Amino acid sequence: MKLGIKNKVIVVTGGANGIGEAIVRGLYAEGALPVIVDKDYKKAKKIAKELNGINSPGVFKCDLADHLMTESVIEDICNLYPEIYGLVNNAGVNDGVGLDADISQFESSLCKNLTHYFQMTKGFIEKIKREEGSIVNISSKVSLTGQGGTSGYAAAKGAINSLTREWAVELAPYNVDVNCIIPAEVMTPQYQKWISQDKSASVRLSHIVQKINLGHRLTQPEEIANYALFLLSDKSSHFTGQWVFVDGGYTHLDDSKEYE
């Protein structure tokens, strides 16, 4: 399927690892011009070197929790790319900031997981309007189910869901569509790190996969990327303000049935 995103500049935050990396690689394969914004500059450069073609990814080092650094990177990208079609707001971390944290830790969690979504969107929106482009926000099932012990992350992801619909309304007159992907349990490097470091992780993981109705397995980053590419493409041209659950049924389907 030709997605109609060839030669289109699409910025991906957190594009050096996990879901973001899978999206960058998918964009490259479709002939788009991905731009990686990530504090893991070494890994981002490695990806760009590997994807060495006429649409090799652009790379910008940025700690997105730093508002001044983010503003500077936005300006640099705008100066380098006269046209920007799309934005994938993806960067974030489930940092375990719960009710036992102080207010500064809670605010820091929001900076890591929410504030830069607004800042990046605001920074690129005039260019995206001119291109009648697309914005994809990456959220989490925690925004709807809760998890416990992660107030900052849950608050940020809930806000991202709401901003998706707010921006979809505000940008509809400009033919800019805004949608949100809500993953659940995805086999990212962060997830792998948890499995390798937590002695009880394998037991907990076995319980988790039994609750994932479709295939009893974790979602792969590439599966999230496939939906991100669709939402960025011409194929989803009349689709906006939606929360798309790519989770094997984990969030909504009844998991009480005994499977054979």
- Does some domain include residue 143? yes
Q: Which of 5, 11, 145 is nearest to 84 (CA)?
A: 11
Res. 18: pLDDT tops 70: yes
pLDDT at residue 257, as a whole number: 62
Number of domains in the chain: 1
Q: Which of 73, 127, 65, 121 is nearest to 97 (CA)?
A: 65
- Does some domain include residue 193? no
- Tokens representing 169 are 């309304």
- Tokens representing 154 are 């849950």
- Does some domain include residue 1? no
Count Cβ atoms within 10 A of the Cβ of residue 107 and give its class: 0-12 exposed, 13-18 middle, 19 or more buried: middle
pLDDT at residue 258, as a whole number: 54
Average pLDDT, the chain: 93
Tell me the CB-side half-sphere exposure of residue 173, using CA atoms within 13 A: 3
Question: How many other β-carbons are positioned within 10 Å of the β-carbon of residue 244?
Answer: 19
Res. 159: pLDDT tops 90: yes
- Does some domain include residue 197? no
- Does some domain include residue 13? yes
* pLDDT tens-digit series, residues 160-196: 999 999 999 999 999 999 999 999 988 787 777 767 7
Q: What is the DSSP string of 1-17?
A: ---S-TT-EEEEETTTS
Q: Which domain, by its residues, includes 98?
A: 9-187+220-246
- Does some domain include residue 200? no
pLDDT at residue 1, as a whole number: 64
- Does some domain include residue 121? yes
* pLDDT tens-digit series, residues 55-111: 999 999 999 999 999 999 999 999 999 999 999 999 999 999 999 999 999 999 999
Task: Tell me how many degrees the CA angle 189-84-87 measures, rounded to the nearest 5.
Answer: 35
Q: Are the beta carbons of 187 and 221 closer than 8 angstroms?
A: yes
- Does some domain include residue 206? no
pLDDT at residue 84, as a whole number: 98
Residue 32: give its domain's CATH number. 3.40.50.720
Residues with a known catalytic role = 153
